[in-house]
Amino acid sequence: MALNNSIAEIFYGIAEYLEMDNIPFKPRAYEKAAETIEALGEDLAEMYRKGGLKALEAIPGVGVSTAEKIEEFIKTGTVKYYEDLKRKMPVDIDALRKVEGLGPQSIKKLYEKLKIKNVSDLEKAAKRGKIRTLPGFGEKSEEKILKSLEFLSKASGRSIIGFAMPEIKNIKQRIAELKGVERAVVAGSVRRRKETVGDADILAVSKNPKPIMDYFVHMPEVAKVTAFGEAKSAVKMKSGLNVDLRIVPAESYGAALNYFTGSKAHNIALREIAIKKGMKLNEYGLFKVRGKKEIFVAGRTEEELYQALGLRYIEPEMRENTGEIECARENKLPHLIGYGDLRGDLQVQTSWTDGAESIETMARAAAKAGLAYIAITDHTKNLAMTHGLDEKRILQQMAEIENVEKKLKSEGITITLLKGSECDILKDGSLDLPDSVLAKLDIVGIGVHSSFHLSRDEQTKRIARAMENKNADILFHPTGRILQKRDAYDVDMDEIVTTAKKTGTILEIDALPERADLKDEYIRKCVEAGVKMSIDSDAHSAIHFQLLEYGIAQARRGFAERKDIVNAWPLPQMKKFLKG
């Protein structure tokens, strides 16, 4: 009953506006009408058609004036009274009311004094210290608003997997270590390594769930318990992360893990296969159905489950029902690149530009992370805010790279440092350093860092032109997106993939969790076209080499194998693939 809901929403809205003006009684009357309408079992439009205005007035809590507004909405699709109120004070009340400590009257004050209309205005004003200057608000309430905003931004949306992972792993580990827990694993989109996750689904095996659930809902970082039961509980952490815990018996472990790993679309496809085989699949197992009897077939492990369905085992990263089931049936699944397969990293920034650490520190950290080679790829001069390198400084840096490599070698640390660049692609598709300099480098990355808003055609031509450069080896972060901050620029990726194939340019999978650029769909295009990719950390500090894991996950989600990823190859083979 969409119409009923729309009208209820309008009445709630009117109530809020009236409350802002401190009008007595009327707000509560509108609220009551809204509540009744929400709970009503009949469609208002239908009631009106049959009994007219009288039938509406007969609804408890609906009076003459509310009935007329319902009639007006049925006839015109709007309620003028409400539209007028909104025009007088055009604020996003719903969003602002979610901020702790803000009620209708403070929202009104914020609008009248500071023209705050929405959450983003509110954040700006709070950060500039303007809210504390208002009567009735102080430094404390300003702080509280900022805290609440931070919490809301995390809680409302999805979390970027790389940022949420440490907390998720920590919770899982604590549960795994409890007495009576045979094992604990993370399922859901976290196990499938999606770029962002709505919540973390933890699965534990135990014969005695009660004390485990008790521990879970009483963890000190829990902000709110949203469900509590012996088989399933759910909490919201103070960080904003939502966590589900399910406890299953050992004989259902594989089936439960499979079910709660998803994706939903993958599950549904598996269930259909089961049905075609005269079986039934659910989170408890795979069963043969014989009349009223159900006979357990498989479910202790995922492997036996897939086998019983006539499929090869499918890695979680592929379980989106985008062709993996067909591949599994025909024994054509890719042999995905493994989490330990990278030998090098081809995008590393240092303190020569916007990185935090020296070449030496980065090189040591990379060696420690088990890498055999890295490319030092600082920004170029067009990116003035990063102190991008010009011709002179990049030549100096090349000399310094050689010195560091020698120094490390003398200590027995054998890591190859490639001389590289993250050369800026200028607006017209030319590169920020002359070919004579680029030719001296071992490896040249190119990237877009400005003019994001060109037309699709211009952007595509610009990037393709840069890829045609005979020194350009890798296109860094090919689509320029920043998750939850900036959309990809408008570019024809089919054309870019074609150009990559034609020119022998590598496309990067940037592993920074907020970039994850290329995305899975484009990785699959590259795999299909035979375009090679690199998985790079885009490290700006020594700890960033750990993030390569998320790039590998992304590659696996795109069906990539070791043969598709150049820095999974030994150095001589990788170098041979580069242009020139």
Interface positions with ligand DGT (CB under 6 A): 188-189, 194, 197-199, 201, 259-260, 262-264, 267-268
* The one segment of 79-87, 105-113, 185-193, 470-478 that binds Ca ion by CB under 5 A: 185-193
User: Minimal distance in Å, beta carbon 246 to Ca ion?
Assistant: 9
Report if residue 244 touches Ca ion, rule: CB under 5 A: yes
User: Minimal distance in Å, beta carbon 260 to Ca ion?
Assistant: 8
Report if residue 422 touches Ca ion, rule: CB under 5 A: no
* The one segment of 7-15, 196-204, 355-363, 396-404 that binds Ca ion by CB under 5 A: 196-204
**Cβ(536)–Cβ(508) under 8 Å?**
yes
Question: In the complex with Ca ion, which residue's Cβ is closer, 199 or 345?
Answer: 199
Report if residue 195 touches Ca ion, rule: CB under 5 A: no
Per-residue buried b or exposed e for 197-218, using 16+ beta carbons within 10 Å of the residue's own CB: bebbbbbbbbeebeebbeebbe
Q: Which does 349 bind (CB under 5 to 8 A by kind): ligand DGT, Ca ion, Zn ion, none?
A: Zn ion
User: Minimal distance in Å, beta carbon 248 to ligand DGT?
Assistant: 13
User: Minimal distance in Å, beta carbon 518 to Ca ion?
Assistant: 24
User: Minimal distance in Å, beta carbon 445 to Zn ion?
Assistant: 10
Report if residue 380 touches Zn ion, rule: CB under 5 A: no
The two structure tokens encoding residue 249: 């018996």
User: Minimal distance in Å, beta carbon 522 to Ca ion?
Assistant: 24
Rounded to whole angstroms, how far apart are CA atoms 162 and 277?
A: 40
User: Minimal distance in Å, beta carbon 163 to Ca ion?
Assistant: 15
Residue keyed to tokens 């489950």: 305
User: Minimal distance in Å, beta carbon 204 to Ca ion?
Assistant: 14
Q: Which residue type does 97 have?
A: R
User: Minimal distance in Å, beta carbon 478 to Zn ion?
Assistant: 15
Q: Which residue is nearest to ligand DGT (CB)?
A: 262
CA dihedral 205, 206, 212, 217 (to 10 degrees): 40
Question: In the complex with Ca ion, which residue's Cβ is closer, 196 or 347?
Answer: 196
* The one segment of 35-43, 116-124, 199-207, 518-526 that binds Ca ion by CB under 5 A: 199-207
**Cβ(310)–Cβ(273) under 8 Å?**
yes
Outline where 282-441 has alpha helix (H): 302-308, 324-329, 359-368, 391-410, 435-438
Rounded to whole angstroms, how far apart are CA atoms 523 and 101?
A: 46
Outline where 440-492 has alpha helix (H): 456-468
The two structure tokens encoding residue 429: 């598709």
Report if residue 199 touches Ca ion, rule: CB under 5 A: yes
Question: In the complex with Zn ion, which residue's Cβ is closer, 298 or 512?
Answer: 512
User: Minimal distance in Å, beta carbon 160 to Ca ion?
Assistant: 14
Q: Which long-range contacts (CB under 8 A, 24 or more apart) does 430-437 make?
A: 430/465, 430/466, 431/466, 431/469, 431/471, 431/472, 432/380, 432/381, 432/382, 432/388, 433/380, 433/381, 433/390, 433/391, 433/394, 434/391, 435/469, 435/470, 435/471, 437/391, 437/394, 437/395
Q: Which residue is nearest to Zn ion (CB)?
A: 349
Question: In the complex with Zn ion, which residue's Cβ is closer, 144 or 477?
Answer: 477
Q: Give, as ranges, the residues between 60 and 79 that touch Zn ion (CB under 5 A).
A: none
CB neighbour class for 6 (10 Å; exposed up to 12, middle 13-18, buried from 19):
middle
Rounded to whole angstroms, how far apart are CA atoms 322 and 125?
A: 46
CA dihedral 340, 346, 352, 355 (to 10 degrees): -50
Residues in the chain: 580
* The one segment of 183-191, 254-262, 348-356, 402-410 that binds Zn ion by CB under 5 A: 348-356
* The one segment of 49-57, 240-248, 334-342, 434-442 that binds Ca ion by CB under 5 A: 240-248
Q: Which does 268 bind (CB under 5 to 8 A by kind): ligand DGT, Zn ion, Ca ion, none?
A: ligand DGT
CB neighbour class for 282 (10 Å; exposed up to 12, middle 13-18, buried from 19):
middle
Question: In the complex with ligand DGT, which residue's Cβ is closer, 252 or 353?
Answer: 252
Rounded to whole angstroms, how far apart are CA atoms 43 and 308?
A: 48
Question: In the complex with Ca ion, which residue's Cβ is closer, 172 or 461?
Answer: 172
Rounded to whole angstroms, how far apart are CA atoms 95 and 117?
A: 10
User: Minimal distance in Å, beta carbon 114 to Zn ion?
Assistant: 36
Strands 232-237, 279-282: parallel, antiparallel or unpaired by DSSP?
Answer: unpaired
* The one segment of 162-170, 280-288, 346-354, 490-498 that binds Zn ion by CB under 5 A: 346-354
List the one residue from 242, 258, 347, 349 that touches Zn ion (CB under 5 A): 349
Question: In the complex with ligand DGT, which residue's Cβ is closer, 316 or 480?
Answer: 316
Cβ-based neighbours of 477, under 8 Å, separated by 6 or more: 447, 508, 510, 515, 517, 538
Q: In what order do the strands lie in the sheet containing 279-282?
A: 279-282, 285-290, 293-298
Report if residue 188 touches Ca ion, rule: CB under 5 A: yes
* The one segment of 9-17, 203-211, 236-244, 542-550 that binds Ca ion by CB under 5 A: 236-244
The two structure tokens encoding residue 550: 């998320």
Report if residue 421 touches Zn ion, rule: CB under 5 A: no
Question: In the complex with ligand DGT, which residue's Cβ is closer, 252 or 386?
Answer: 252
The two structure tokens encoding residue 547: 């993030």
Binding site for Ca ion (CB under 5 A): 188-189, 199, 201, 244
Binding site for Zn ion (CB under 5 A): 349, 354
